[in-house]
């Protein structure tokens, strides 16, 4: 093999190995930052891992919001029409958060079967529903009553 060709081959192999290593490291680093979305029915079925950062979404169950009088703690339930999921949140809720409206929570599933949320996102527009929530609620009652999605 000609020395120039051999040098180019070594360079190409080195670039492929380094690129593969870089992609592997980036993928490994991103694994810890991914939030997987689950519907409340997945929690009821036991498909959700404990103490792993997840997202859950659905409609806030009317009458389920309970505020602690001494702190910012709020307990509420969200539903996808099949099951309900209890959520505990200890910060200020968004202004648009309301019973019967769509919400997405980010947090960790606790041993008691509830999610300790560190972020609550409320629906911000009458016509907007997050794609994950829309997919999990297809064919079920909507957040605003008995109309089907």
Q: What is the pLDDT of residue 38?
A: 85
Residue 59 in contact with residue 146, Cβ under 8 Å? Answer: no
Residue 98 in contact with residue 62, Cβ under 8 Å? Answer: no
Considering the domain 36-136 in this protein, what is its CATH number?
Answer: 2.40.50.140
| 136 to 56, 67, 98: CA distances (angstroms) | 10, 28, 20
Reading the block at residue 60, the tokens are: 């806030």
| pTM (predicted TM-score) | 0.66
Reading the block at residue 87, the tokens are: 């959520």
The H or E element that residue 67 is part of is strand 66-67
pLDDT digits (tens, 9 = 90+) for 76-93: 999 888 888 999 999 988
- Positions of the chain with pLDDT under 50: 146-149
pLDDT digits (tens, 9 = 90+) for 96-114: 888 888 889 999 888 888 8
Reading the block at residue 113, the tokens are: 């079967």
Interatomic CA distance for residues 95 and 120, integer angstroms: 11
Q: Where are the domains of the chain?
A: 1-33, 36-136
């Amino acid at each position: 093999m000609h020395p120039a060709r051999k040098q180019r081959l070594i360079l190409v192999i080195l670039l492929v190995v380094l690129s593969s290593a870089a992609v592997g490291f980036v993928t490994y680093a991103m694994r810890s930052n991914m939030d997987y979305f689950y519907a409340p029915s997945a929690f009821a079925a036991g498909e959700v891992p404990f103490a792993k950062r997840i997202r859950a979404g659905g409609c806030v169950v009317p009458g389920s919001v309970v505020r602690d009088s001494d702190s910012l703690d709020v307990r509420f339930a969200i539903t996808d029409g099949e099951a309900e999921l209890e959520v505990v949140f200890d910060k200020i809720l968004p202004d648009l958060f309301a019973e019967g409206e769509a919400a997405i929570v980010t947090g960790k599933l606790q041993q008691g079967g509830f999610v300790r949320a560190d972020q609550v996102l409320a629906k911000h527009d009458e016509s907007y529903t997050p794609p994950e929530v829309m997919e999990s609620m297809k064919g079920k009652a909507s957040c605003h009553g008995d109309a089907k999605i």
